[in-house]
Amino acid sequence: MAGIMLRSTAFNDHDLLPGRFARDGGNVSPPLEWADVPDLAGELVLIVEDPDAGKTPFLHWLVTGIAPSTGGVAEGTVPEGGREWPNGFGTTGWGGPHPPAHEDPHRYFFRLYALNQPLELPESPQFTDVHRALTDREIASGTMVGTYYR
């Protein structure tokens, strides 16, 4: 499977996320840039999740319907064509990192998927719904990780 280059101008892969992106900071989404999206992509999907939050990863951001022609998203904005969905906090859009105080840093996986057909989700998708819907649609992906602790 092909790889999408995913990066941010605000933090490097596996580095600490700046506080302005945290829920108790500015709670704004970070800027992201991507390249190498396959020509056959019909839609991009962005998922940000914390696998260190418990048995099921905690969803911080889900955006579907992103135009494959885009090359990124500015800080605090929604990618072109994108539809934001409810996050694990129960609000729609970006829900910044907010791990329990004094725990080891949590990891936040930013994953961008190129799909060959649009993603179909229920109105209030759960973590498993999203990953099940990606099955057989993904043609490329890119991942980067940020960390955060309080």
Helix, strand, or coil (residue 134): helix
Question: Residue 130 belongs to what H/E stretch?
Answer: helix 127-134
Residue 1 pLDDT: 60
Question: What domains, with CATH codes, occur in the chain?
Answer: 2-138 (3.90.280.10)
Residues 6+ apart with CB under 8 A from 55: none
pLDDT tens string for the chain (150 positions)?
Answer: 669 999 999 999 999 999 999 999 999 999 999 999 999 999 999 999 999 998 889 999 999 999 999 999 999 999 999 999 999 999 999 999 999 999 999 999 999 999 999 888 888 887 788 889 998 999 999 999 999 999
Neighbours of 105 (CB within 10 A): 15
Residues 6+ apart with CB under 8 A from 145: 13, 14, 107, 108, 109, 110
